[in-house]
Chain A
Amino acid sequence: MATYSINDFRTGLKVMLDGDPCNIVENELVKPGKGQAFNRVKLRNLATGRVWDRTFRGSESLEAADVIDRDMEYLYSDGEFWHFMDPESFDQFAADAKAVADAAKWLREQDKCVVTLFNNAPLVVTPPNHVELEVTETDPGLKGDTAQGGTKPATLSTGAVVKVPLFMNVGDVVRVDTRTGEYLGRASKD
């Protein structure tokens, strides 16, 4: 496996640190005029999500992590694993609950998402930034109440619960930002 010297560090590079794959979030040269150069690096541990603040010397190097992001189609869940397919190679991958984590509540069969593979096994599943899902459960809509301000919880077809405006009804399709869980608007039905 390739190694990267600290001077090659840039945002987005994937490296191994203490046995875990990490994504470099930030790299800043710290050097007093007369002193030794250090790099203050923020890395996100891709296995745990934890962000590390580590300091390196310019002479150090880290092994590259065999991590790649691939666009995949979500197939189905068997209760234990979530199954994905690369639409080009038709390779299938099974991700466990740890890899899917919060993405589970946004996954609709046949939707596209990004699966991060570490040593060819799913490490992280990232849903699309925006999804359109049907409301399956919510209090009845208040007719004519399109005024701003009021919201109520609604359960979507994937199980996610989001706050929607009062006028939304069961069967309506909503557009949601998966990064924040926020309602973005009403979408037209398929």
Chain B
Amino acid sequence: MSDSWQPSCSPALLKARAALNHHIREFFSAREVLEVEVPILASTFVTDPFVEPVTAHHTGHTYYLQSSPEYAMKRLLAEYRQCIYALTKVFRAGESGSRHNPEFTMLEWYRVGLDDHQLMTEVGDLVAQLIPELAIHKLSYRQWFYRRWQIDPHEISLAELRVLGKSLIEIDDTGLDKDAWLDLLVTHELEPALPVGLTFVHDFPASQAALARIVNDANGTPVARRFEGYLATAPGNAMELANGYWELTCPNEQRRRFARDIARRSALGLPQYPVDEQLLAALAHGLPDCAGVALGVDRLLMRQQGLSRIGEGLSFEFSRA
């Protein structure tokens, strides 16, 4: 306990973080993307089945520390229709580990008129400026699974997926659905095997669309125009870095997704939070066609600086906060 007042990172890492933030701001300034600040403390929360809020209290009411600046940024987009970015703290209850801190720094940006593939290129441009000699790879979610096991993750049945999963992962899988098994195969098998560099995986299963639009792919399969960027600086150390969408703009479809999330939370016995009606109103007003992405800045710093734990790059890791 005696030294717990001291910072958990070195002066060199404090400087590296400051330089990273500075670089990000220069990158967007050169591209005429406007920096915005949005509320961290808000009266509503996302409906995501697997994101839990840190709550706060103010004048007798419960508020939620935001897990992402997404909804507020979309309200700005609906009104001002211009490219924006935010470099902000976000919070997720219960997420603590070598790659997770309950409070972390997120870089989120929206590009009006761009789609997911154009935005992947821009993410690659930014990361390549920060990590020397960065190789960039791109493959679809289907190819990712097919190359390893010759299965189509969109078509495979839960029963078949379960047989494959059980042969690789020791788990009590009672009640695990198809998406949970797909996630397990990603985190346990596919992600660690990704090559050194930045790999974009695109065209996610429609069931994992979150706020991405769903479009038929070349096979005629409805897929989510969502991508994930994984960054590896050494074999085996690939880590989820960024999550982007060609954004859903239809308010009715958005309302259905909220309802589906809420039903899922309810079935899982998870608490319910107030739905952001203001986001729905903004979508009804009209969100411009755009693509958006969220990138974990602490993880980018980890890989840039060769850190094995997220806490090493924080001035005070959570146990000292």
A residues with CB within 8 A of B: 7, 28-38, 40, 52-56, 58, 60
Contacts and interface: CB of A to CB of B under 8 A. Distances in A.
A60 B172 contact: yes
B210 interface: yes
A43 B208 CA distance: 32
Interface residues of B, number: 28
B211 to A, nearest CB: 10
Given A28-B98, A55-B171, A33 B240 contact: yes
Interface string B276-307: 00000000000000000010000000000000
Contacts of A31: 50, 95, 100, 187
Contacts of B48: 34
A35 B99 CA distance: 15
Minimum-distance CB pairs A-B, first 10: A29-B97, A35-B183, A55-B171, A30-B187, A54-B170, A36-B50, A33-B243, A36-B180, A34-B210, A32-B183
Interface string B166-178: 0001111000000
Nearest to A33: B243
B23 interface: no
Contact of B240 (A7, A32, A36, A54): A32
B131 interface: no
Contact of A29 (B95, B184, B243): B95
Nearest to A35: B183
B320 interface: no
Most buried by B among A32, A40, A58: A32
Given A34-B243, A35-B186, 11 more contacts: A29-B95, A31-B95, A32-B186, A34-B50, A36-B49, A38-B184, A55-B169, A55-B184, A55-B188, A56-B171, A60-B172
A58 B180 contact: no
B179 interface: yes
B180 to A, nearest CB: 5
Contacts of A30: 187-188
Interface in B173-210: 179-180, 183-184, 186-188, 208, 210
Contacts of A36: 49-50, 179-180, 183
Residue among A35, A38, A53 with most chain B CB within 10 A:
A35
Contacts of B49: 36
Contacts of A40: 188
Contacts of A60: 172
B94 A7 contact: yes
9 contacts: A30-B188, A31-B95, A32-B183, A35-B50, A36-B183, A37-B94, A54-B171, A55-B188, A58-B94
Given A31-B50, A55-B184, A37 B171 contact: no
B170 A53 contact: yes
Interface string B220-235: 0000000010000000
B210 to A, nearest CB: 5
B266 interface: no
B140 interface: no
Contacts of A52: 170
Given A54-B171, A56-B171, A37 B180 contact: no
Contacts of B188: 30, 40, 55
B96 interface: yes
A55 B94 contact: no
A54 B170 CA distance: 5
A28 B243 contact: no
Given A54-B170, A55-B170, A58-B94, A29 B240 contact: no
Contact of B97 (A28, A32, A55): A28
Nearest to A34: B210
B204 to A, nearest CB: 9
A53 B187 CA distance: 14
Contacts of B100: 29, 31
B107 to A, nearest CB: 13
A41 to B, nearest CB: 10
Contact of A34 (B172, B184, B208): B208
A50 to B, nearest CB: 12
A11 to B, nearest CB: 13
A30 B170 CA distance: 14
Nearest to B209: A34
Contacts of A33: 228, 240, 243, 294
A7 B210 CA distance: 26
Contacts of B184: 38, 55
